[in-house]
Amino acid sequence: MPRISPRVELADGTLEQYQNRPSDDDGPWDGMLYPDFHRRYRVVLGRNVTKTDKDRKTYWPCSCNGEPADLPSDEIEPTAKYVVPKSARSSEPQPVSYQWLLPDKHGDRYFYQQLLLKTPFRCSLPATFISDNNVAGTLREECRLRGIIPAGGLEQLLRDDARLHLKTEAETEAMVERLNLHEAALHGPVGEVDMADDDMRRLHDDIACAQGEDERCAPPDLRLQHEVVDGALRTVALWYERVPHR
In a domain, 199, yes or no: no
How is the chain split among helix, strand and coil, in percent rounded to 5? Answer: 40, 15, 45
In terms of domains, do 108 and 81 share one? no
Residue 159 has pLDDT above 50, yes or no: yes
Q: Which of 23, 51, 85 is the last residue of a domain?
A: 85
Question: Residue 232 — pLDDT band, cuts 50, 70, 90?
Answer: confident
Phi, psi torsion values for 171, nearest 5 degrees? -65, -40
In a domain, 200, yes or no: no
Q: Which amino acid is at 90?
A: S
- In 3-state terms, what secondary structure has residue 246? coil
**CA angle (203 as vertex; 199, 205 as ends), nearest 5:** 115
In a domain, 219, yes or no: no
Residue 212 has pLDDT above 60, yes or no: no
pLDDT given for residue 2 in this prediction: 38
Question: Residue 170 — pLDDT band, cuts 50, 70, 90?
Answer: very high
pLDDT given for residue 73 in this prediction: 66
Classify residue 48 by its DSSP letter: G
In terms of domains, do 107 and 68 share one? no
Q: Which of 28, 57, 85 is the last residue of a domain?
A: 85
In a domain, 223, yes or no: no
Q: Which of 182, 208, 230 is the last residue of a domain?
A: 182
Quick one: which of 197, 195, 161 has its CA closest to 179?
Answer: 161
Alpha carbon 61 to its chain's center: 27
pLDDT given for residue 91 in this prediction: 62
In terms of domains, do 76 and 140 share one? no
pLDDT given for residue 243 in this prediction: 62
Total number of domains constituting the chain? 2
In a domain, 58, yes or no: yes
Answer with the residue of higher pLDDT: 136 or 92.
136
Residue 245 has pLDDT above 70, yes or no: no
Buried b (16+ CB within 10 A) or exposed e, 193-202: eeeeeeeeee
In terms of domains, do 111 and 146 share one? yes
Structural domain boundaries enclosing 133:
103-182
Residue 118 has pLDDT above 50, yes or no: yes
CA 31, CA 26: separation in Å to the nearest integer? 11
Question: Residue 65 — pLDDT band, cuts 50, 70, 90?
Answer: low
Average pLDDT, integer, range 183-210: 63
pLDDT given for residue 169 in this prediction: 93
Average pLDDT, integer, range 199-204: 66
In a domain, 166, yes or no: yes
Contacts of 47 (CB under 8 A, 6+ apart): 78, 79
pLDDT given for residue 225 in this prediction: 76
pLDDT given for residue 4 in this prediction: 38
In terms of domains, do 78 and 123 share one? no
Average pLDDT, integer, range 189-218: 60
Contacts of 91 (CB under 8 A, 6+ apart): 85
In terms of domains, do 62 and 131 share one? no
CA 237, CA 213: separation in Å to the nearest integer? 29
**CA angle (38 as vertex; 83, 66 as ends), nearest 5:** 55
Helices (H), the chain: 12-19, 34-40, 51-56, 103-106, 108-118, 139-145, 153-164, 169-186, 197-211
CA 92, CA 99: separation in Å to the nearest integer? 23
Residue 182 has pLDDT above 70, yes or no: yes
In a domain, 233, yes or no: no
CA 199, CA 20: separation in Å to the nearest integer? 52
- In 3-state terms, what secondary structure has residue 128? helix
